[in-house]
Every structure is written in C-alpha cells, then in structure tokens.
Structure 1
Amino acid sequence: MIIHKGTLIVGALIGASLGVLLAPEKGKVTRAKIKKESKNIKDQITEDFKEVKDDVSKAAQSGKEKFKEDFKDFRSKASHKTEQAITFLEKQLAILKEKNKTYQQG
C-alpha cells in the first residue's frame, strides 16, 4: 500500500511538471502553474503520509493488542502445564514416601 501511494505521487509529480513545462505559455503563467501544482502535490503528499502514519499506528496497536492476548493465552497454558507438573511431582513424592516407609519398618 505504501509503495503504491509513493508510485502514484511520483507519477503525478512528473506528469504535472512535464505538462506545465511543455505548455506554450508565458514564463509568469508557467511559474504560477508550477507553484500551484507544487502546493497541490505537497498537500497530497502530506495527506498520504498522514494516512500511512495512521495505518502504521493502527497496525502497531493491533500488534500490541494481539501480543497482549497471545501472552495472556501463553501465561494461562504455562500455568496449566505448571499445575500438571506439580501434580505429577506430588504423586511421585507420595510414591517415594510409601517406598521409604517400607524401608523404615524393616
């Protein structure tokens, strides 16, 4: 999207400049047209860059929100896995305690 806007802007700038420079008019009229076209192109470039900035900001915010959501999911899954590991270790400790009791009786 950014590349397409840049290409359109450059094309418009080149086309407008060639059209104005090749037109058979007095220098004063040509300069006035160049000034007017330059302002229009500047305004368009400013607007296009604003749109691109807004798009990038939205994408960054969306990425930030996605990251937060993914991290929340990861944290939840990690917590469940940790709980499973603790339960497994508790069972293994219980088995070891029972085996140890049998050794202590003898």
Structure 2
Amino acid sequence: MSNNAGNTLLALLTGAAIGAGIGILFAPDKGTKTREKFKDGYDDAIKDLKHKFENASEELKSKFVHNKKKELQETYEELISNVSHKTEDVISFLESKLADLKEQNAKLQK
C-alpha cells in the first residue's frame, strides 16, 4: 500500500476512535443503546475500510497489469527488431551463396 494510503487509513482509524470515545462520553442514551450505536459505527467503519482496501487492491492490480503489458510490448518490439536484423544477415548469406553457385554454374557451362 502506498504511503499516502497508509496515512489516510491511519487518519480514518484515529478519527473513528476519537469520535467513538467522545460519543460515549456525551451519550444521552442508556448503555445498551450506546453500545448498539457504537457497534453500528464500528461495523460501518469496517465496511468502509474493506471498501477502501478493495479499491486500493484493484488499483494496484490495474497498475501491475499495465506495467506488465508495457514490458511485454517492449520485449515484443525488441524481439521483432532482433529477428529483422537476423533475417537481413540470413538474406545476405544466401545471396552470397547464390552468387557463388551462379559463378560455379557458369564455369561448368563453358
């Protein structure tokens, strides 16, 4: 997880803890209702945290796939370039051998 996302998560958890503490201190309701509200707030915070984690995970996966796709494209282009150079070498070699064969054939036809 990036440092920015870690700071955001820490700020979220700190804010939730402070808010829950202040809410309990100033709660006008009975203890059971306060605990129920606290549990609901906790559940909401967990859902929100899970949602943010899933979003961060998807973003990381997307970046990873993009980077791998870019690397694959670069490797493909390098391979095509190397094959092109090798093809030119093979063609030059074959042309040289063909010229030698034509020369030998010409000598045999005399």
TM range (shorter): 0.7 to 0.9
> Alpha-carbon deviation of 1:33?
1.4
> Could you tell me the TM-score, scaled by structure 1's length?
0.72
User: How many residues were matched structurally?
Assistant: 84
Q: Determine the structure 2 residue equivalent to 1:73.
A: 78
Q: Determine the structure 2 residue equivalent to 1:89.
A: 94
- Please give the residue correspondences for 1:42-61 in structure 2 after superposition, counting only pairs within 5 Å: 42-61=47-66
* CA displacement, residues 38-78 of structure 1 (integer Å, 9 cap, x when unaligned): 10011011111111111110011111111111111110000
1:33 partnered with 2:38? yes
CA distance in 1, matches of 2:66, 2:74: 12
The amino acid that maps onto 2:88 is E
RMSD: 2.0
CA distance in 1, matches of 2:47, 2:88: 60
> Could you tell me the TM-score, scaled by structure 2's length?
0.70
* CA displacement, residues 20-53 of structure 1 (integer Å, 9 cap, x when unaligned): xxxxx84322221111101001101111111111
* CA displacement, residues 68-95 of structure 1 (integer Å, 9 cap, x when unaligned): 1111111000000000000011011011
Structure 2 residues not aligned, in runs of 5+:
2-29
The amino acid that maps onto 1:34 is K
Structure 1 residues not aligned, in runs of 5+:
2-24
> Alpha-carbon deviation of 1:104?
0.7
CA distance in 1, matches of 2:36, 2:92: 82
